[in-house]
Structures are given as C-alpha cells and as structure tokens.
C-alpha cells in the first residue's frame, strides 16, 4: 500500500500503487466537489521512483551514445564518415578545447567566441569566417576529415584572437606566426626545420593540415 495525496488540500489515503482509473481512492472527492473537474491524487513514492528510473535511463543512453561515437572514430578514423549530428558534437568539443588553450591573447580569454556550424552539400567545400561580434561561422563538406576540421577551427580562432585583421592585413605576419604556434601547442605539429613559413595563408593552411594529419596518424598507431 502507498500513500496517495491531494495536491490541493494535502489530505491523503492509503491505496495500492496501481489502481483502476475509476477507483474512487484515486480522486479527492472533497476538492472535486468544489471544482468543475475531478481532482486526482498523486503517489509521491511512485513519482520519485519514476524520476529516478528516468534519470538512469537518460544517463545510460548518453553513455551508450558516447561509446558509439568513440568506437566509430577509432574504427573509421575520419569524422567525415560519422552522422552529421555526431560529427557536430565532436567539432564543438574540439572547439571548446582549442578556445581554452593558453596561447591565445586576452581577447579570447575574456570574450570567448561562439561556434556556428554549417553543412555543405559538396564534398570538399570547407570555409570559415570570424566575426567581430564573437561568432565564428564554419562550413564543412562531407569529405572534411579530422585534420582539415582542426586546422580550420584553429585558423578562425587565430582571426578572432588578432581582432579579425583590424588595422592590418588579415593574413599578415602576426597572424601566420600565431597560427603556427597554435598548431604546435594544440597538436604538437610543427614545420620541418628547413621549411619556411609560406607567405600565402592558404598555402600555410595546407602545410599545417598535413602536419596535423601526420601527428594524428602517429598518435593512433602508438
């Protein structure tokens, strides 16, 4: 037997936890006489148990989803092969990790940027834009692998950290130097000792993307 209470007057009765819908003990007749509709009693013990079960089911589902994502990344090795929503979750997690790096200037530490992810229907169309308002907009194609995504995120955070190129060249020496340092700190990827930093930013993107891909591949084989 469980205690059933009326939420209106607080009076209760002892009754089975499972009752028929037409059982008179399910309803508070005193409050129902004052109301145009029937006032139903609740069972606090059953309500608490249902919430506890729901919490366990939610936690179990979240753990299972996380395990599936990690297993897919480990087996496939490419974010491009994951479903869109799972890939977006991993991109946001990587973005949050990059923003917390100590290499960024005070602007990123004080005014953390927000990430907006767009999806391209073409395979190799990837682009990004860092807005002065604090929003970083990225577009990833279906063929973007992990190295490409990581490099593009770092590239756009560098734009935000250098005030989006205000007062100077968007891809000047200050930007390129910070981008190389950020890739080194975030992924341990560096240019070869005899290799100079390319003057063209998009050529530098290609070089750093290859360096990140090499580092990630070496990390997976260890």
What tens digit of pLDDT does each residue of 157-182 get?
Answer: 998 888 654 544 578 888 888 888 99
Helix (H, G, I), strand (E, B) or coil at 12: strand
> What percent of the chain has a predicted confidence (pLDDT) above 70?
85
Q: How far apart are CA 13 and CA 108, in angstroms?
A: 60
Domain residue extents for the chain: 2-42, 79-221
Average pLDDT over every residue of 52-71: 83
Q: How far apart are CA 47 and CA 7, in angstroms?
A: 13
Question: Are 20 and 30 spatial neighbours (Cβ–Cβ below 8 Å)?
Answer: no
Given pLDDT bands bounded at 50, 70 and 90, which one contains residue 18?
A: confident
- Least confidently predicted of 40-54, 62-76, 120-134: 62-76
Q: How far apart are CA 12 and CA 4, in angstroms?
A: 5
- pLDDT tens for 72-103 read 555 544 555 566 777 888 899 999 999 998 88
Q: How far apart are CA 108 and CA 97, in angstroms?
A: 12
């Amino acid at each position: 037997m469980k205690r059933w209470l009326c939420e209106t007057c607080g009076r209760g009765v002892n009754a089975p936890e499972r009752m028929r819908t037409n059982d008179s003990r399910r309803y508070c007749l005193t409050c129902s006489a004052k109301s145009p509709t029937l006032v139903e009693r609740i069972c606090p013990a059953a309500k608490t148990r249902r919430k506890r079960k729901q919490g366990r089911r939610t936690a179990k589902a979240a753990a299972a989803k996380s395990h599936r994502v990690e297993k897919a990344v480990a087996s496939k090795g490419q974010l491009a092969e994951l479903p869109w929503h799972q890939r977006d979750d991993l991109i946001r997690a990587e973005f949050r990790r990059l923003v917390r790096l100590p290499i960024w200037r005070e602007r990123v530490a004080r005014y953390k940027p927000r990430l907006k992810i767009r999806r391209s229907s073409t395979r190799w169309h990837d682009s990004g834009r860092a807005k002065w308002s604090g929003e970083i907009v990225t577009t990833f194609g279906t063929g973007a692998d992990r190295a490409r995504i990581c490099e593009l995120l770092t590239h756009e955070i560098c734009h935000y950290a250098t005030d989006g190129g205000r007062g100077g060249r968007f891809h000047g020496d200050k930007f390129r130097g910070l981008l190389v340092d950020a890739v080194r700190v975030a992924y341990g990827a560096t240019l070869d000792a005899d290799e100079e930093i390319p003057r063209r930013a998009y050529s530098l993107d290609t070089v750093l993307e290859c360096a990140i891909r090499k580092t990630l591949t070496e990390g997976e084989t260890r």
